[in-house]
């Protein structure tokens, strides 16, 4: 199909890679082998079958790992979320099955136009089919697989559009939605998390040993590597670069103006600000400034008066001190006065666009040229820096060439080329190393070598180049208890703390049902009662998160309790304090957004009903089969 996009020009390689990467991410549920309608491509465990499509364990695990990585839900709740993930896959495949039964088709032209819309940059200047196919191959896809799954997605969209046709929103629904969105409540609440109960957990050596024995095959050491680390460092290489005094004098002479400093004054001031003031106010401010000036000229403390009266926030706390000022740094009238004053002289009132100023010059420096001796060290450092990068690269490259011939002589080769040398023993990829810390590029290079291999020079920051010489590999093995004891202790502590929290949540649930007092609940869990600001249904509560967990309180009278709710690994209980009705004055202005929101909600509800009915019908027909044993084993593996 993509031959229709071919042109004599080739697409830009980088643009194609980036754009296809974005598409692959956004369509992960559809555009991978075994996606909706794609079927399983290997002999993997099959969690469910929908019509002729198979949902594999690998597919569900990929989605689950992504959700865990993004912290979409707490690990402790995994047993509740795994079935939901499977249900989502089943609903998608069931919808695809129904679309096929209804004869919903997507033409070649529609697929082509969709991909052109998704990847517009590919078609600027022509389309490179070979590059496109190569990129998809790296993702484990062929062009036919990719295009077939794009077609499947479009087929699903067409079916869902049919289901969503004819949505109507009434005036009563708009008014009700406005009230729902804009009414507010205030609550008192108590929260507690598993971390709060870790101090109550006690573990004996026998507990650790028992857990280790029961799960021994799970505990393995990481692969470790021993290697020589050679670092070309800017400061060490730079110190070997000799810059003669004759050269420095030539550079100094050729840039004499650089070392010429202009006249400057060390000045302090008091500002009486007049911006955005009326004429009457300006006169009053001038009178005040005149009075302060008389006090200073009468011997009063300038710094004290500046602290009391100045309107310049930048210098007020420093007694009006502006430090050294050069010409061109301040407004014209201020500059003229400052550079006309003698040392310690006090100005009269100086008017600028900011207001009235009283100035005093504390020190003066006339124009001068820095001597060669004053700038010699600075010049030498600059000239070394200009040469050091090429010297570092040359030293690293020469050292690397010798290391390839004699990898056991790393220390001597490092000394020869003024490189720092470290013998690193049994390091993991995540271990920090001398001078370079944790560097993913260097770790990847070293952990891809075979013994005796030499890495390329890896640039570290702006001033180092690192080379690795692999000397040995410590393979993965079963770990001993002393190597994993701390990890087991932390895991068991977290697990038991969560169990205590769950028991407390049950206790709190009983107190809520019995109409218990929130303060009594707080005491029972060792927490404190907090009061929220007013919030809407779509708002947030400090230390809790989304207000949707307490949406039931919007329909209840003051004093009602809600909870306990498990929210991102913590438990929360709330009591309704007060309710504020929506201000109906803004209804007209929000009407369009309200209609859009109502239609979206109705569409989701209709979609859910459609998918639920469709799934149930296919189950009755025997076209959906779910392997509960695999789901249970998957839950158990994550629990472990």
**CATH number of the domain where residue 490 is located:** 3.10.50
How far is it, in rounded angstroms, from Cα 270 to Cα 148? 76
Q: Flag whether 594 is in a domain.
A: no
Question: Is the residue at 15 inside a domain?
Answer: yes
- In a domain, residue 121? The reply is yes
Domain that holds residue 470: 224-235+392-474
> pTM for the complete prediction?
0.43
Is 143 found in the same domain as 74?
yes
Domain contains 529? yes
CA distance 92 to 153: 10
Verify that 142 and 194 share a domain, yes or no.
no
**Considering the domain boundaries, does residue 384 fall inside one?**
no
Claim to verify: residue 275 and residue 405 sit in the same structural domain: no
Same domain, 407 and 462: yes
SS3 call for 621: coil
Cβ-contact 189, 569 below 8 angstroms: no
Say how many domains are in the chain.
4
Domain boundary residue, one of 446, 474, 502: 474
Contacts 24+ apart (CB under 8 A), 614-621: 614/91, 614/94, 614/95, 614/98, 615/90, 615/91, 615/94, 618/50, 618/51, 618/94, 618/97
Domain shared by 23 and 127, yes or no: yes
Whether 399 and 323 map to the same domain: the answer is no
User: Using an 8 Å Cβ cutoff, are 149 and 30 in contact?
Assistant: yes
Together in a domain, 299 and 425:
no
User: Across-strand partners of 368?
Assistant: 261
**388-437 residue pLDDT tens:** 788 888 899 999 999 999 999 999 999 999 999 999 999 999 899 999 99
Q: Are residues 470 and 495 in the same domain?
A: no
The whole-number pLDDT of residue 614 equals: 83
Same domain, 532 and 632: no
In-domain check, residue 530: yes
Which of the residues in the chain have pLDDT under 70?
1-43, 69-77, 119-128, 130-132, 134-141, 163-164, 256-258, 260, 386, 638-640
Check whether residue 14 and residue 158 sit in a common domain. yes
CATH number at residue 13: 1.10.4030.10
What's the pLDDT score for residue 344? Answer: 92
CATH number (domain holding residue 324) = 3.10.50.40
Q: What is the pLDDT of residue 3?
A: 37
Please indicate, yes or no, whether residues 501 and 542 belong to a single structural domain of this protein.
yes
Are both 69 and 136 inside the same structural domain?
yes
Per-residue model confidence (pLDDT) at position 11: 31
Final residue in a domain of this structure, among 448, 474, 500: 474
pLDDT at position 120 is: 66
């Amino acid at each position: 199909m993509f031959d229709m996009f071919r042109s004599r020009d080739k697409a830009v390689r980088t643009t194609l890679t980036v754009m296809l990467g974005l598409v692959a991410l956004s369509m992960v549920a559809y555009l991978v082998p075994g996606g909706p309608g794609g079927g399983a491509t290997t002999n993997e465990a099959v969690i469910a079958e929908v019509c002729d499509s198979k949902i594999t364990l690998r597919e569900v695990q990929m989605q689950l790992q992504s959700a865990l990585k993004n912290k979409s839900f707490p690990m402790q709740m995994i047993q509740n979320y795994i079935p939901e993930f499977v249900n989502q896959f089943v609903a998608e495949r069931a919808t695809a099955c129904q679309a096929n039964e209804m004869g919903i088709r997507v033409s070649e032209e529609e697929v082509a136009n969709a991909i052109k819309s998704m990847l517009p940059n590919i078609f600027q200047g022509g389309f490179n089919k070979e590059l496109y196919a190569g990129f998809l191959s790296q993702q484990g896809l062929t062009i036919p697989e990719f295009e077939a799954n794009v077609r499947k997605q479009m087929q699903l969209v067409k079916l869902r559009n049919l289901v969503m046709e004819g949505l109507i929103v009434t005036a009563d629904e708009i008014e009700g939605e406005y009230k729902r969105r804009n009414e507010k409540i205030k609550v008192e609440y108590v929260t507690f998390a598993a971390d709060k109960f870790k101090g109550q957990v006690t573990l004996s050596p026998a507990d650790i040993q028992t857990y280790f024995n029961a799960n021994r095959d799970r505990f393995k050491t990481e692969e470790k590597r021993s290697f020589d680390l050679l670092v070309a460092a800017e400061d060490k290489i730079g110190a070997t670069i000799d810059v003669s005094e004759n050269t420095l004098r030539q550079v100094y002479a050729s840039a004499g103006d650089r070392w010429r400093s202009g006249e400057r004054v060390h000045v302090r001031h008091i500002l009486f600000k007049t911006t955005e003031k009326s004429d009457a106010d300006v006169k009053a401010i001038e009178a005040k400034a005149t009075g302060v000036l008389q006090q200073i000229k009468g011997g009063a403390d300038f710094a004290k008066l500046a602290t009391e009266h100045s309107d310049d926030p930048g210098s007020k706390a420093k007694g009006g001190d502006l430090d050294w000022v050069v010409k061109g740094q301040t407004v014209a009238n201020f500059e003229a006065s400052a550079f006309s004053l003698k040392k310690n002289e006090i100005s009269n009132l100086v008017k600028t666009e900011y207001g009235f100023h009283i100035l005093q010059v504390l020190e003066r420096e006339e124009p001068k040229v820095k001597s060669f001796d004053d700038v010699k060290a600075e010049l030498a450092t600059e000239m070394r820096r200009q040469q050091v990068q090429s010297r570092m690269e040359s030293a690293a490259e020469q050292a690397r060439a010798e290391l390839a011939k004699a990898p056991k002589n790393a220390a001597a080769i490092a000394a020869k080329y003024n490189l720092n040398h470290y013998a690193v023993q049994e390091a993991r990829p995540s271990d920090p190393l001398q001078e370079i810390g944790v560097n993913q590029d260097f770790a990847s290079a070293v952990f891809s070598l075979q013994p005796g291999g030499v890495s390329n020079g890896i640039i570290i920051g702006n001033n180092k180049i690192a080379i690795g010489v692999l000397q040995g590999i410590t393979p993965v093995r079963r770990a001993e208890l002393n190597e994993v004891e701390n990890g087991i202790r932390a895991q068991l502590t977290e697990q038991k703390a969560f169990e205590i929290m769950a028991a407390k949540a049950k206790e709190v649930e009983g107190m809520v049902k019995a109409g218990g007092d929130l303060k009594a609940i707080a005491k029972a869990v060792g927490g404190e009662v907090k009061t929220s600001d007013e919030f809407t249904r779509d708002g947030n509560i400090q230390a809790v998160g989304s207000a949707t967990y307490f949406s039931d309180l919007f329909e209840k009278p003051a004093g009602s309790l809600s909870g306990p709710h498990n929210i991102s690994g913590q438990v929360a209980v709330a009591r309704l304090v007060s309710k504020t009705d929506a201000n109906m004055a803004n209804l007209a202005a929000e009407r369009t957004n309200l209609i859009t929101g109502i239609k979206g909600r109705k569409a989701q509800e209709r979609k859910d009903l459609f998918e639920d009915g469709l799934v149930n019908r296919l189950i009755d027909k025997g076209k959906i089969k779910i392997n509960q044993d695999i789901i249970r084993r998957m839950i158990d593996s994550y629990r472990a």
